[in-house]
Structure 1
């Protein structure tokens, strides 16, 4: 649940960052505002990638554990 909420927050931040980049390019004279929004977008992307990889690792670990338990059960039933 916590990961899903954090992914949602990051996704919203990334959408706001894209809107901020467009706004800064259109209406701001200084380039620093653009870099702020680009940085925010990059941080959001890296965070989403990290949580995705973390979730995939946990799922793979759980799948391997389940396969190991099934293998143990099948060995016991043979006896």
Structure 2
């Protein structure tokens, strides 16, 4: 649940960052404002990638544990 909430928050921040980049490029002189929004977008992307990898690792670990338990049960039932 916490991971999904963090992914949603990062996704919203990335959408805002894209809007900020477009606004800054259109209406402001090139300067720190553009780089602020670009940095925010980059941080959001890295955060989404990190939470995605954490989720995938957790799913893989759960699958390995489930397979190990099934193998253990099948060995016991053969006896």
Per the TM superposition, whether the score is higher than 0.5 is yes
Q: State the TM bucket, normalised to the shorter chain.
A: over 0.9
The corresponding residue for 2:76 is: 76
Listed as ranges, the matches of 1:1-79 within 5 Å are 1-79=1-79
Q: How many residues are aligned here?
A: 79
Distance in 2 (alpha carbons) for counterparts of 1:6 and 1:58: 16
TM-score by length of 1: 0.98
Distance in 2 (alpha carbons) for counterparts of 1:56 and 1:30: 39
TM-score by length of 2: 0.98
Distance in 2 (alpha carbons) for counterparts of 1:61 and 1:37: 36
Please list every run of at least 4 consecutive aligned residues from structure 1 whose deviation after the TM superposition is greater than 4 angstroms: none
Deviation at 1:42, TM superposition (A): 0.2
Distance in 1 (alpha carbons) for counterparts of 2:73 and 2:10: 42
Runs (5+) with no aligned partner, structure 1: none
Deviation at 1:77, TM superposition (A): 0.3
